[in-house]
């Protein structure tokens, strides 16, 4: 690509590289790393006319997500008396709602990849799902405090906290 003075590198990331959910810290950190290396490469390869593009899907039903849901369910059941039991249960409930609402398929993601290949000039980032677009916008315009409050409410973590406080009161 350097010799030809043109090319495109397309990296598959995730909106999770920008929005980390509880219990998904390791996954989110790996996607955040993909975001960072892509941003650096985009600048490094600019002189050679090589575009570096990020694809950032939101939730898309795949076998990987089905496996993650099964593992989350198993962890929630195995949590027993763990202090994180409520967090697991709240996350699993949120995950199941997300799965039910998801209308996106891997083919939707493939269409966005094709768009990134064909568009001239390509954008640096392509968000695939509406939830990814909304999440990225919220992350950009909201303060961390407001964003965290919104996520805690959406994930049911306030109820988990209230339950823990009730258990620890004398």
Using 50, 70 and 90 to split pLDDT, how confident is the model at 170?
low
Which H or E run includes 11? strand 7-12
Closest by CA position to 13, among listed 23, 105, 33 = 33
Q: Is the pLDDT of residue 142 over 90?
A: yes
User: Does residue 27 have an active-site annotation?
Assistant: yes
Give the sheet arrangement for strand 50-56, strand by strand: 7-12, 50-56, 125-127
95: pLDDT strictly greater than 90: no
Structural domains in the chain, sorted by start = 7-168 (3.40.50.720)
Q: Tens of pLDDT along 32-51?
A: 999 999 999 999 999 999 99
Q: Which two tokens stand for residue 68?
A: 């993650």
Distance in angstroms (rounded) separating the CA atoms of residues 147 and 140: 10
Q: Is the pTM of this model over 0.85?
A: no
Q: Which residue's entry shows tokens 């350097």?
A: 2
Query: Among the options 27, 88, 104, 126, which is catalytic?
Result: 27
18-30 per-position pLDDT tens digit: 999 888 889 999 9
């Amino acid at each position: 690509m350097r010799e030809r003075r043109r090319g495109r590198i397309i990296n598959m990331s995730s909106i999770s590289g920008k929005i980390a959910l509880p219990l998904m810290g390791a996954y989110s950190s790996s996607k955040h790393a993909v975001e960072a290396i892509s941003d650096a490469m985009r600048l490094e390869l600019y002189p050679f006319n090589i575009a570096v593009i990020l694809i950032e899907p939101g939730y898309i039903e795949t076998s990987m997500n089905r496996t993650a849901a099964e593992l989350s369910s198993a962890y929630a059941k195995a949590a027993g008396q763990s202090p994180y039991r409520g967090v697991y249960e709240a996350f699993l409930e949120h995950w199941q709602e997300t799965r039910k609402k998801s209308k996106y398929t891997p083919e939707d993601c493939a269409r966005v990849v094709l768009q990134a290949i064909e568009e001239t000039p390509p954008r640096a980032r392509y968000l695939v799902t509406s939830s990814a677009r909304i999440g990225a916008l919220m992350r950009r315009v909201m303060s961390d405090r407001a964003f965290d409050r919104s996520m805690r409410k959406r994930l049911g973590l306030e109820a988990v906290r209230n339950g823990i406080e009730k258990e620890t009161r004398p």
